[in-house]
Each structure stands twice: as structure tokens, then as C-alpha cells.
Structure 1
Amino acid sequence: MKAKFSRMWVAASVFAALSVAPPAMAAKQGAKTDSKADVRTDARTDGRATAPRPLPADAVASVNGVTIPKVSVDTMVKASGQPDSPQLRELFKGQLIANELLRQAAQKQHYEARPEVQAALEAAKTMIVTRAYMAEHLNAAPVSDADVKAKYDAVVATLGENEYHASAIAVRDPAVAQTVLDELRKGNDFAALARQYSQGPNAAQGGQLNWVSFKTPITAGNTQSWPQPIAEALVKLPKGGVSAEPLKVGDQFWILRMDDRRATQIPKFEDSAPLLRKQLEQVAMEKATAQVIGELVKNARIQQ
């Protein structure tokens, strides 16, 4: 029982922070708020207790007179994305009970009056109000099927005949870069050296980069956002080859290894469409947000 309650307590802390359907809302629906009333027994004149009173039909529990409505559990089940089951409902009911216990304990000690709590409540209120305003005033352009297909075609058009899988070590000191190259020439492991020295992407994963495809010969602006010197060096490396010298890019020195190459595998449109649509919708949302803020800035007096 202690282990079960411990899990319930930890989970409750998470849901308390998220404020998922707080059962305290039931108080607005006529639930009792007297902490002495939640024993759910009636005192008899002879000092003995009567049987517990039944819960309301729309409640799953009561905590010191505050009912926890079934709709709160329903909401949590839906939000979890998990298959509905009695076990899952019992878990969420336990979390709501613990959540309500914590709420009542904090209320008894007047935590809501603490300055840091008031500040957090004000910040949460501001965020909710802002989101409500944005929801009503954003006019993001809808993304059509034609938009998604055009984006897919544009991406495919940037791909070359081959795609490459590489690993990279990027450092800021040329002496360190030379040390890494010397270690590689001695046969030391590239991934281990990347984890030890690299300040570049995916260092913790041994410097492994995602598959990428370039049209060749490499031209400016057609490098899939890779630095052009890196792209040019990569396509010239044989499989298993390592760059002979560090490649200077900005304030970093890169060492590349060609892990593999293959004919470009173009994903089907049906597989790519959901992700592309999401990306386009995000762009449309950002553009609409910028327009709303721009209009507000025009009509505001801002002193900095």
C-alpha cells in the first residue's frame, strides 16, 4: 500500500502543476466545503455513526466534503491518449484524490496569500488571457492540400542523386582539431573522440548527423542549410573517409567522416504530407502572430 500511495502522490504532484480538471471545481456545483462533514457519516444521538451516505451519481469520490466529479476522470482519460480501462480510471481517481488533499492542505495554511504564489497566479492569468485574445484575433491562412503538395515538390527538387550519412567533430581550437586528427590517424574511435572533444552537433551521439542529399556540384544556397565548405568536402569523401585537414567554418574547425552513401531515397508524398502540413501551419501561425503584434505596436506608445 505504501508503494501504491507513493506512486499516487508523485503523479498527483504532476497533475496539480498542470491543473487538470481540479476537483475543487465541484464546490461550485453545490459540493460541501465544511472539512468536518467529509467523514460521510451522520452522528447519532447515542454517539454512534450511521452508514456512509452514498456519493452523488456524477461523482467518483469525496475528500473532506469536496466531491470529485466523474467528468474530471473522463477528461484525464481522454487527455492521456491511452485506452480507457477500469485500471486507468482508478489511477486517475487516485491522482485527483491526492491532488485535492494537497489543495486543501495548502489552503488551510493560506499558501494562496504568499507573494510567490500570487505572482505565479498573476503570470498564469496573463498567459491564459493572452492566449484567449490570440485565439480570437489570429487569422492564420489555411493550409490547403495544394500548398502541402507544392512544399513537397519544392523539397524533392532540392535533392541530389545521392544522399550522405556523416559524422562530425567540431572544435574551436585549431590545436585541438589537430590533436583529434592525430588520434584518428592512430586508429582511435571517431565516436569516442567526438564525445570527448566535439562542440558541434550530436556530440553526445558520437557526432552522427542525419542523412542529407545535395545536388552536385554544390552551389551557394543549395546545401540544405549546411555550411557550403562542409557540403563540398563531404561529397568528395569516399565511404569511411575522414577529412585530411580541419575545415574552418566561422570560429569552428570541423573534421568529417563519411559513414555511408546511397542513392537518394525520396519518401512518398502520403508519408511526408502530415509533417509538411504541420510545418506550413506553424509558419502561417507565426506570420499571423507577427501581424497582430505589428498592429498593436503601431498603435502603442512604447518607451525603452
Structure 2
Amino acid sequence: MQNEINQGNRTTAFVRGVAAAVVLSAIIAPAFAAQKQSAPATAQAASSAGALLPAGVVARVNGVSIAQTDVDAAVRQSGKPDSPALRAAMKNELIARELFRQAAQKQHYDTHADVKASLEQAKTMLMMQAYLRDAVKPVPVTDADVKAKYDAIVASLGQNEYKPSAIVVKDAATAQTVLEQLKKKGADFSQLAKQYSQAPSAVQGGSLNWVSFKTPITEGQTQGWPQPLAEALVKLPQGAVSSTPVQVGDAFWILRVDQMRPTQIPTFDQSKDQLRKELEQVAVAKATAQVVTDLVKSAHIEQ
């Protein structure tokens, strides 16, 4: 984005959205076709004038140049295969965009309050992004860091892995109601999860991702699960539901083991790219937090 601003590129943002480009093409193509049919002499004159355009310029709109580099960028951002037809369409869109800009400027839309406010917001956002790009300096992630992360994860895995579902409620009475419906009435677990659960997984019927724990369960080796939940899960056979709710903080969990299998461990080569990405995200988050901490320390903040 910053490169576009530095180069004075006023056009490429207009065609970033593929859907927007499709809609715009549907509007512009007939307009250009109609212009050629209704004014062939003018179109021919414009075509002849095109041969006199400076190098790197593909069109002029009331004296304003449309550069070849603008068309190149629009083609790339469209995400479509490069072709003469696509380039012609992109050029027409850029011409239309310039016509829109000139018409808006002629009617002084640049002075409208909402336009000025949006410009100021965009300027602020770009300024902050540029600052953070220079100020946030994450520690580089090395190959050794990635391998160490992989080894730590493998070391924390148990012999078996579980595909659980959970219903999470806020009080013991509701948890007991859910358990009674499961045990006495044979209610469907996923439907009860959608009805009662307060967890994000409710929309999936309580379904959670595969997880594995080294047993016996030890603190810090539970893949981010609260230890009481991990301990309850590994005691359940496949298809079983926890007989009593498991309280974690002020929430009550009812667990079911949907599937159980021997733990499947991907190779390092299969995992390293994703692990590196995760470690880099953590490094960026830590570096950003440090920037915020330093700014807060030197600021006078009243709340």
C-alpha cells in the first residue's frame, strides 16, 4: 500500500475487489461500445491520437494520463489470467475511474465532510501501519526454534488422541438438566449443545478438534486444556459422556468422546511451515506488546 502511495498510483485500489471489478465491467463495457457506435469519427480520432501518446501512457482523460503500470497493477490485482481482453477491460475501468474522480472534484466532493473524515481516517491508518512496520522488530525465528517447538509438541502427546464434543453452561442446575436429558430421554448431544452450550463450539454441535495428552496428566502438558478437563476426557471410552459436570472456573462442562485412535503425529517436514508461521506470529505479538508498553510508560494517560 505504501509503495502505491509513493508512486502516486491513484487507480489500483479501485479494482482490488474482484466482485467490484465484475460489476464495473458490466457497466463500462456497454458505455464504451455505445460511444464507438454513436461517434465513430471521434473514436477514430482518439485511436489516431493514441499513437502520439508518450511511452508508458495508454490513455489520457481530459489531459490526465493513465499509465501502463496502472493497467499492469490492475491486471495483477484482478487475480484473473492475463489476456488482451482483460487488459482492455482494466484500461476502460481505469478511464472510468478517472472520469468519476474528475466529475466528483468538479462538483467539490473533496470538501464534503464525510469525504474529509474518511480521508483523515485513511491517513491515520496508513500512518500507524507505517510506524508499526518500522517500530515493531520481532526476534527472527530460526530453524532451531521451529525444531524445538516440534519436539516439544511431540513430547507432550500421549499414546491416544481424542475427538471430543462439549456442552458448556454457566450453572450447575443447567448442567444437571442437560445430563438428565442425555441419560433418561436419550436426547441428541449435538442438539443439546446448540440449545444450551455457551461455548463458541455450540454452532458445531459442541464438536472440538482432535487432542492428545501424555498420561498421567501433568500441569503444563495439556495442549491448553484446563487440567480437570484433560483428566476427565482421558478416562472416558469412545462414545461415552461424562457422568458428572466438570467445573472449570464458573463454567460447567459436559464432555463426550466422539472418536478415539492412536495418536497420529505428522513429520517435521509436514509441520515446519505451519509451526514457523505460528512462531513468527507470536514473535510479532511480543514485539508489538513491547512497543505498546514503552509508549505507555512515556505517555501521560488519563482515564
Report the TM-score, using the length of structure 1 for normalisation. Answer: 0.75
Aligned to 1:257: 256
- Code of the residue aligned with 1:53 in structure 2: it is A
Greater helix proportion: 2
Over 3 Å counting, the alpha-carbon distance change for 1:298 and 1:206 in structure 2 is closer
Contact 1:61 1:67 (8 Å CA) reproduced: yes
Contact 1:159 1:214 (8 Å CA) reproduced: yes
Match among 139, 152, 160 for residue 150 of structure 2: 152
Query: How many equivalent pairs are there?
Result: 267
Structure-to-structure mapping, 1:264-275, within 5 angstroms? 264-275=263-274
Over 3 Å counting, the alpha-carbon distance change for 1:270 and 1:128 in structure 2 is same
Contact 1:15 1:95 (8 Å CA) reproduced: no
Q: For 1:89 and 1:215, how far apart are their aligned partners in 2?
A: 58
Aligned to 2:206: 207
Structure-to-structure mapping, 1:39-58, within 5 angstroms? 51-54=44-47, 55=50, 56=53, 58=56
Report the TM-score, using the length of structure 2 for normalisation. Answer: 0.75
Deviation at 1:96, TM superposition (A): 4.1
Instruction: Output one character per residue of 1:235-261: Cα deviation in whole Å (capped at 9) or x when no partner.
Output: 111100011122222222211110011
Deviation at 1:301, TM superposition (A): 4.2
Contact 2:16 2:78 (8 Å CA) reproduced: no
Deviation at 1:113, TM superposition (A): 1.9
Over 3 Å counting, the alpha-carbon distance change for 1:61 and 1:207 in structure 2 is farther
Aligned to 1:27: none
Instruction: Identify which range, 137-146 or 220-229, moves more after superposition.
Output: 137-146
Structure-to-structure mapping, 1:69-108, within 5 angstroms? 69-79=67-77, 81-86=79-84, 88-89=86-87, 92-93=90-91, 96=94, 99-108=97-106
Contact 1:243 1:257 (8 Å CA) reproduced: yes
Partner of 1:256, secondary structure, is: strand
In structure 1, runs of 5+ residues without a counterpart are 1-13, 21-38
Partner of 2:164, secondary structure, is: strand
Aligned to 2:127: 129
Q: For 2:164 and 2:201, how far apart are their aligned partners in 1?
A: 11
In structure 2, runs of 5+ residues without a counterpart are 1-11, 19-34
Deviation at 1:121, TM superposition (A): 1.4
Seq. identity, %:
59
Q: For 1:183 and 1:62, how far apart are their aligned partners in 2?
A: 73
Q: For 1:73 and 1:17, how far apart are their aligned partners in 2?
A: 10
Contact 1:15 1:99 (8 Å CA) reproduced: no
- Code of the residue aligned with 1:216 in structure 2: it is T
Deviation at 1:209, TM superposition (A): 0.1
Aligned to 1:283: 282
Q: For 1:276 and 1:80, how far apart are their aligned partners in 2?
A: 31
Over 3 Å counting, the alpha-carbon distance change for 1:194 and 1:88 in structure 2 is farther
Instruction: Identify which range, 286-295 or 159-168, moves more after superposition.
Output: 286-295
